[in-house]
Chains A and B, each alone.
Chain A
C-alpha cells in the first residue's frame, strides 16, 4: 500500500513537472503525457488520460489561466482530507468509472445519465475566474457544457424552483469522510434561474483533458460568480424541488455561509474580510469584484433582493 502510494506520487510529480501545458504546444504535450502515462502503466494502473475536444466560448475570460500544477495541487475537497495538498494525494483512489448521475424530482422525464453520455454532450472550453471564500483565486480552463442543456432533457415541471446537488459518498474510497468535518454527503443547491443561467456549467474536463480526480472527477458544477464551495464536485445526484434545499456549508455554519454565497466584496465573512483576494501566483492582492466580475451577466438575477441579508 505505502510504497505504491509513494510511487504514484513520484510519477504524478514527474508528469506534472514535465507537462508545463502553458509553454509546450498542446499536441506535443499531450503525446508526451501519453508516453509518460504509458510508461507509468508498467508499474501500476494509471487512469486513462484522454484528450477532450472542445469549442472555444465567448464567455471565457481572456485572463491568463493558472498552471495545471496550481489547479491540481491546491484543492479543497474535504472528502479526501482538509489539507490543500491532500486531495491530490488521496483522490486517486476514487473510482470514477462506472459512474452515473441521477436527475429526478420535479421533472417530467427523470433519468439516470451515464458518464459516457455526458462526455458526448457538446463540450466547450470555459476559462473562468474561481474565487474561494478563503480569500484566494485562480483562473481555470474548464471543459464542460451548460447545466441548462442537461436540465432541458429532463423537462423541469412548473414547480421546480430549486436544484439540489449531491456528491457521491464512498467511505471506502474517501478517507476524509471518516471524520464528520461536514455532514456527509456534501450537498449544494441553486435557484432554478441560477441553474439555467448560461454561465453555469457542468465541467467534465480541465486543460484539454478529462477532469483530474482532485478537481471533482468525473463531473462537477462550476458557478463562477459564487464562492468556490458552491461548485460541488463528483456529482452523483441532481434533484429538482419546490423548496430551498439544505446545503453543506450553510448547515455547518449558517451565520458564515449563506445559501446564495455570491462573491461580494461588500459583505465580509464574519471572521475575515472579503474585500481583497490573492490570485494564486501573484504577490500583490487584488480587489475582489462583485459577483466575481460576472455582475453584468448575473446581477439581474438578484434585482430587488437585499444581498446583505441574502448573503
Chain B
C-alpha cells in the first residue's frame, strides 16, 4: 500500500527525480495561478463584479480579517506568506475528491517543507519588525537559562506543525484506502467527505498557527 506520494516516481535522471508529490504540487500551482490570472486580469472596481472576483475578494478579505484578528496588526506584510499557506494546503486537500489524486500535503516532505518555511519566516518577520538584536533578545527571556528551552520550543513546534498536517492528511488517505478494501461502496465516500472537512480545518490550523508564531515573534515591540 502506497502511503506517501513521494514513493510514486514519475521520472528519474540520476539522483534527480520527479515524484507524484511534486507533480501534484505543480498541478495545484498551475491551477491556482491560472485561475487567479483569469479572474484578476479583468477586475472591476465598481459595485458590479463577476462571481469569481467576488469569491476571490471574499477569500482575501477573510484572510486579512483572520490575520488582523490573530496578530492585532495590519495584515499587509503577512498576507502573501500566511495566505499562500492556507490557499495551497486548502487546495491540496480539497482536490483529494478527484480520483487518482494524492494530496501533496499527505507527504511528510511537503509538510516539512512548509514547516521549515514557517521556521525561517518567524525570525525573518521578527527581525524585520524588531531588528536582529531585538528579536534575538526574546530567546534569553525571562532569563538566559531559558535559551535552550526556547530553542527546543522553536524546533518542536515546527516539527509539530509538519507532523500534524502530514498525519491528518495521510491518515485520511490511509483510512479511505483501508475502507475501500473492506467496504468498497458507501463508507469511503463518507470518509472522503469527512476528509474534505478535516483538510479545510487543517489548512486553517496550519495557517493560523504560523500566523501566531510570526505574530508572537514580531509583537514584542508593541509590548
Tell me, yes or no, whether A binds B. no
Q: Which residues of B are interface residues toward A (Cβ below 8 A)?
A: none
Q: Which residues of A are interface residues toward B (Cβ below 8 A)?
A: none
